[in-house]
Amino acid sequence: MDMIDVIRTKRDGESLTEDQINYFINGYAAGAIPDEQASALLMAIVWRGMAEDELTAWTTAMISSGARLDLASIDRPTVDKHSTGGVGDKVSLVLAPIVAASGAADPMLSGRGLGHTGGTLDKLEAIPGFRADLDLDEAVRVVREVGCVICSAGPDLAPADRRLYALRDVTGTVESIPLIASSIMSKKIAEGTGALVLDVKVGSGAFLPAIDDARELAETMVSIGAAHGLRTSALLTAMDAPLGRTAGNGLEVSESFAALNGAGPGDLMEVTLELAREMLYLCGLDADPWDAIAGGGALDRFNAMVSAQGGDPHAPVPEAPEREQVQAPASGFISRMDARAVGIAAWRLGAGRAKKEDAVSPGAGVVCLKKPGDEVAVGEPIFELHADDPARFEPAGTALAGAVSIDPEPPDPCPLILERIRP
Amino acid sequence: MDMIDVIRTKRDGESLTEDQINYFINGYAAGAIPDEQASALLMAIVWRGMAEDELTAWTTAMISSGARLDLASIDRPTVDKHSTGGVGDKVSLVLAPIVAASGAADPMLSGRGLGHTGGTLDKLEAIPGFRADLDLDEAVRVVREVGCVICSAGPDLAPADRRLYALRDVTGTVESIPLIASSIMSKKIAEGTGALVLDVKVGSGAFLPAIDDARELAETMVSIGAAHGLRTSALLTAMDAPLGRTAGNGLEVSESFAALNGAGPGDLMEVTLELAREMLYLCGLDADPWDAIAGGGALDRFNAMVSAQGGDPHAPVPEAPEREQVQAPASGFISRMDARAVGIAAWRLGAGRAKKEDAVSPGAGVVCLKKPGDEVAVGEPIFELHADDPARFEPAGTALAGAVSIDPEPPDPCPLILERIRP
């Protein structure tokens, strides 16, 4: 087989055969196919898309390039959630313990943040001692003993995806629904979970802001799941404003503790509980996820998970020493709070990284003192910025300029759960 | 500037700015932009195309990446011809001397063959002693003294195009009309010629077989020429059957000598003289190119050029020792002779190369004993194959299976000169 023919096939709008896909994925993972041929193929896929059969074969090849988690020793139904990423999205920290306390188990292999959306592992690593880098055996042991784990996917799962993602990142080929869908699903299928719920974000703070794109991505992932025998469904959820009141690693851990103690903000709880219901439904479990909060089971599972991963759930969460407030420029009702702007502000304050190698600050971030629907008076603080270094405030403040609209009338409430997609 | 933004601009269907184009071409020529980003951009260009302004800037940047021939010392109008490549296309060997004998000068920088179409330099190098690799000063001196030169473009002209072409060759991004047009035109403009006639081939043996594609390529090149102040026109000429009766290096040199002596085959002479007329027209010269043949001036200029480039025009042209004939499978009139099949047969006999580093045989090739329109009896020879090694005959014969159609009635004559495109 010849790589130039593979590129030409896709360039000319034809479907790649299973043999061509295996040849490419295996050859690229092994370093036998050079980056310049791979990136030409990726751009041709951005252009031409992939048919369902191709996507199934492509995902299978990526899974086969690495190891799979063996969850045979888990005696409960397994189910996981994956989010396409949002600002203030600490859902995983509350959700995995709820699921564990409700009779299922969640083997959540997750990632670090890059860009304006935070990473779940960065958040957990704000807890003193917490280790996100477990090997696959350790991860399985924590799931078995605690009922949930949240750790890094490591280098063994779908290594072809890891190489391809790094290449897509520098060649303008990230924005392709089939490539995004197969990248996510290959890792989740390799993770070995028995069921999967996708939280596909829609709106200004989402990776794909338009609902049509989000729906297409959700349907594509649900269909890849079905083709691989994985019970998969998806919720489209709103990501116009930050979820909850905080964006930043330690700040979000503290808000998650509040949520596990039954004192979480309404939007965070609504999304978390709806995802939990869908996960338990896929497992065939007839449990009300709220009971895990009200009865303390979820908090207990979270603490057990943190301990099992080397962290101290009772240690104080680090806080940044420097604070600055951003005031309301007018009086009225907040009708819009741009999630992306808040995410970029948190990132510039030190919560996120510009390059993969950068360290993140555990304490930096944004607290939303007000949220859409709230009434404010001119000069009243809307945001509180936290940083290790006061020099961070100016660029963060620039990101927030124009991020909030204030109207004389209260806005209509916006739904958070937009659509549910099942196979 | 960021290369990922440049890629995204084109990927999303927008025009590249002049700054973006200069950033890419200069960065890639200097090795500062890696191949994987360049190939992603090239595939996006195959997808989205380039607008006229972009193409002008792209071509300018490629020319500026290297040297330009300085033809100020030539006291005659300069004019060149470029062909998109055909089988048996020895037009350059006859045409450049005609132009030189008709009052103009032709600084023809040419290339070697790759694939089923032969290269002009490979043909001339069949002449004992002939040197195609002149430096730019030598090339100018030969034009000045002889009136024409046919030599390699060398590494100094449009080096960005050289790097880009090598990349396109391995990434499935050759087949883009703007990229083909700018590649050709950047070299021809850097060559410094005052006028240019393009011979764009159409038909089964052409690089772009369909007339619509050929016309688009011709119009694109004529428009690039106009934007750069180069008087440019194009002829679309038929390349369904081989031009003349030979395909192969030494065989074509011998046929060119016959043509320069007034005994060339009709199709070769028709195309050559029409191109010559267009070239002289662009120079404002009112000369009949046939006079250069009839009066012996063209042969004299050819011999002078060969001598100036180290060759012996009177030395016997090498012949391959092994011969085999291919017989007519039926009686009747030849209605079709597939140029591409004849080209591939000549290539397999040793006339062409599979890799850039390969050597070619000076003697190998195909002689067409019959041409379309000729009457044949079953068993009568149609082709004579020449090779250094008889093991070459079988693969060459395979290429020729089905290459000829024989009908009971004589075919309608097909025009050779299909269209003329001027700015």
Which chain A residues are within 8 Å of B46, Cβ to Cβ? 11
Work out the minimum CA distance from A119 to partner chain B, whole angstroms.
23
Nearest CA in chain A to B5: A172
How far apart (Å, rounded) are the C-alpha atoms in residues B203 and B243?
12
How far apart (Å, rounded) are the C-alpha atoms in residues A276 and A15?
38
Pick the closest to residue A339 from A263, A247, A265, A268 (CA basis). A247
B359 pLDDT higher than 90: no
Lowest mean pLDDT among A138-147, B113-122, B226-235: B113-122
Q: How far is CA B265 from the centre of its chain?
A: 19
The strand ranges marked E within A248-388 are 322-327, 332-337, 365-368, 375-376, 381-387
Q: What pairs with residue B89 in β-bridges?
A: none
Q: How many residues does chain B have?
A: 423
The tokens 């010629």 sit on which residue?
B193
pTM over 0.90: no
Helices B91-101 and B249-260 pack at an angle, to 10 degrees, of: 30
Nearest CA in chain B to A13: B47
Dihedral pair phi/psi, residue A376, rounded to 5°: -135, 155
Under a CB-based contact definition with an 8 Å cutoff, are residues B134 and B149 in contact? yes
**Contacts of B18-22 spanning 24+ positions with Cβ under 8 A:** B18/B57, B21/B54, B21/B57, B21/B58, B21/B61, B22/B57, B22/B61
Q: Tell me the mean pLDDT in the region A381-407.
A: 97
B115 pLDDT higher than 70: no
The confidence score (pLDDT) of residue A24 equals: 98
Cα→Cα distances B351→A236, B66, B246, B343, B386, Å: 63, 31, 11, 9, 10
Under a CB-based contact definition with an 8 Å cutoff, are residues A39 and B39 in contact? yes
Please name the residues in contact with A142: beta carbons below 8 A apart, sequence gap of 6 or more. Answer: A134, A148, A149, A151, A305, A308, A309
ipTM of this complex: 0.86
How far apart (Å, rounded) are the C-alpha atoms in residues B232 and B212?
19
Strands B404-407 and B365-368, by their bridges, are: unpaired
The confidence score (pLDDT) of residue B308 equals: 98
Neighbours of A202 (CB within 10 A): 24
The confidence score (pLDDT) of residue B47 equals: 97
Cβ contact (<8 Å) for B11 and A40?
Answer: no
Domains and CATH numbers, chain B: 3-49 (1.20.970.10), 80-308 (3.40.1030.10), 322-407 (3.90.1170.30)
Model confidence at A329, pLDDT cuts 50, 70, 90, reads very high
Pick the closest to residue B328 from B387, B244, B403 (CA basis). B403
Please name the residues in contact with B193: beta carbons below 8 A apart, sequence gap of 6 or more. Answer: B71, B78, B79, B80, B106, B107, B230
Residues in chain A whose Cβ is within 8 Å of chain B: 3-4, 7-8, 11, 34-44, 46-47, 167, 170-173, 175
Taking only the tens place, the pLDDT of each residue in A127-152 is 999 999 999 999 999 999 999 999 99
According to the 3-state scheme, what is the secondary structure of A125-170? CCCCCCCCCCCHHHHHHHHHHHCEEEEECCCCECHHHHHHHHHHHH
A115 pLDDT higher than 70: no
Please name the residues in contact with B345: beta carbons below 8 A apart, sequence gap of 6 or more. Answer: B247, B366, B383, B385, B396, B397, B399, B400, B403
Model confidence at B3, pLDDT cuts 50, 70, 90, reads very high
The confidence score (pLDDT) of residue B151 equals: 96
Q: Which of A7, A34, A46 sits opposite B172 (nearest CB)?
A: A7
Q: How far apart are the first and last CA of chain B?
A: 35
Q: Tell me the mean pLDDT in the region B344-372.
A: 92
Compute the Cα dihedral for B42, A12, A7, B87 and give only its sign.
negative
Task: Look up residue B193 and give its two tokens.
Answer: 């010629």
**Contacts of B255-259 spanning 24+ positions with Cβ under 8 A:** B255/B90, B256/B90, B256/B93, B256/B94, B256/B123, B256/B302, B257/B299, B257/B302, B257/B317, B259/B90, B259/B93, B259/B94, B259/B293
Quote the DSSP letter at residue B195: E
According to the 3-state scheme, what is the secondary structure of B98-132? HHHHCCCEEEEEECCCCCCCCCHHHHHCCCCCCCC
Pick the closest to residue B191 from B325, B338, B80, B308 (CA basis). B80
Strands B246-247 and B80-83, by their bridges, are: unpaired
The confidence score (pLDDT) of residue B244 equals: 97
Work out the minimum CA distance from B1 to partner chain A, whole angstroms.
14
Helix ranges, B148-265 (H): 159-170, 177-190, 211-227, 249-260
Pick the closest to residue B48 from B179, B238, B219 (CA basis). B179
Mean pLDDT, chain B, whole residue set: 95
How far apart (Å, rounded) are the C-alpha atoms in residues B61 and B73?
26
The confidence score (pLDDT) of residue B343 equals: 95
Q: Tell me the mean pLDDT in the region B157-178.
A: 92
Catalytic residue among A81, A116, A162, A187: A187
Q: Which of B4, B8, B39 sits opposite A40 (nearest CB)?
A: B39
Under a CB-based contact definition with an 8 Å cutoff, are residues B98 and B304 in contact? no
Residue A11 appears among annotated catalytic residues: no
Best of A12, A36, A37, A165 to disrupt the B interface by mutation (most B CBs within 10 Å)?
A: A36
Q: Tell me the mean pLDDT in the region B88-112.
A: 95
Q: Tell me the mean pLDDT in the region A184-190.
A: 95
Q: Cβ-count burial of A419 within 10 angstroms (0-12 exposed, 13-18 middle, 19+ buried)?
A: middle
Taking only the tens place, the pLDDT of each residue in B23-35 is 999 999 999 999 9
The tokens 């299922």 sit on which residue?
A104
Cβ contact (<8 Å) for B171 and A46?
Answer: no
The confidence score (pLDDT) of residue B19 equals: 97
How far apart (Å, rounded) are the C-alpha atoms in residues B51 and B38?
19
A308 pLDDT higher than 90: yes
Which chain B residues are within 8 Å of A213, Cβ to Cβ? none
Q: What pairs with residue B195 in β-bridges?
A: B231
Percent of chain B past pLDDT 70, that is, above it, reads: 99
Helix ranges, B283-392 (H): 289-294, 297-308, 339-346
Mean pLDDT, chain A, whole residue set: 95
Quote the DSSP letter at residue A342: H
How far apart (Å, rounded) are the C-alpha atoms in residues B222 and B181?
9
Q: Which of A11, A35, A171 sits opposite B7 (nearest CB)?
A: A171
Which chain B residues are within 8 Å of A171, Cβ to Cβ? 4, 7, 36-37, 40
Cβ contact (<8 Å) for B47 and A47?
Answer: yes
Dihedral pair phi/psi, residue B153, rounded to 5°: -70, -20
